[in-house]
Amino acid sequence: MLSSPVWRGTPVLAFCAGLVGGGALTAVVLIVAGSLLRAPLPAAVRWALVAGALLAVLLRETGVWSFKLPENRRLVPDTVFRLGRHLGPLQFGLEMGTGARTYLPSGLPYAAAVAVALTASVPAALCAGAGFGLGRALMTTANLRYDGDNGWDGEWRAHGRELRFLTGAAFVVPLAAIAVTAWSGTP
């Protein structure tokens, strides 16, 4: 479906804008819900919960621990295209960008959700949400532009172990830096 001519030109931009918007919308929901959760918890407990969630996800990503994470195991339906050449891809992107209506190939967004809900400021949460949407946009557009024979998916599967390690490291290092900075600023 993504290789069809409907995805040429501005519909791809509308789709990517929807992904970023969906990520930002999810961040807003997480920050509101997190405000209720974080109020009674001291900073040390919140960061311990973030660390525990991250450790569990990293163990899952590396295959040490196997457990299912909640996800809506169905794709966004083709009916979103009833809205036309531009609004259809925008809605499709928005629904994918929330992460609530489709597959999540990694558990790292779950750890990010816990970190956003329990520790992030509003600007940091919006940046995390937009980053999620941009990551999905990058993955989708890379797949679209690779070839027409699902070669990108084959490459992803062939190098999955290395990619899981790299994406995990790319997630852990900045989160650790944020945690150290936040912890050193806490009285």
Given a contact cutoff of 8 angstroms between Cβ atoms, the answer to whether 111 and 104 are in contact is no
CB 65 within 8 A of CB 154: no
Provide the CB-side half-sphere exposure for 138 (13 A, CA): 6
User: How far apart are alpha carbons 94 and 91 in whole angstroms?
Assistant: 5
Q: Over its length of 187 residues, how does the chain's per-residue pLDDT go in tens digits? A: 454 444 556 688 898 999 999 999 999 999 999 999 999 999 999 999 999 999 999 899 888 999 988 887 777 677 877 888 888 888 888 988 888 777 777 889 999 999 999 999 999 999 999 999 998 888 888 887 788 787 888 888 899 888 888 888 888 888 888 888 877 765 5
CA distances from 62 to 16, 57, 77, 167, 168 (A): 29, 9, 31, 11, 9
CA dihedral 52, 58, 63, 65 (to 10 degrees): 0
Beta strands, E only, 4-108: none
Reported pTM = 0.84
Q: What are the structure tokens assigned to 129, written together?
A: 């949400």
